[in-house]
Amino acid sequence: MEGQMMQGTMMDGTMMLCMVASTLFAFIVAVAVIIQPVLLSKILGEVRKLKKP
């Protein structure tokens, strides 16, 4: 009986880890997508400044 209980909690832990990992991944992807255009525009602005004599 105790063995079954232990296995159940192990499964829950793995599920939790999977959920946390996927949530973190989604969060990182969202942040990357939001930041990319901002970074690109900043870099392009710097390049334009450098190109101007």
Instruction: Compute the chain's Rg from CA coordinates.
Output: 23
Q: What is the pLDDT of residue 42?
A: 94
- Residue 26 CA to residue 19 CA, distance in Å, equals 11
pLDDT at 3: 60
- Whole-angstrom distance, CA of residue 18 vs CA of residue 14: 6
- How far is the C-alpha of 16 from the C-alpha of 23, rounded, in Å? 10
Q: What is the pLDDT of residue 12?
A: 82
Residues in the chain predicted with pLDDT less than 50, given as ranges, are none
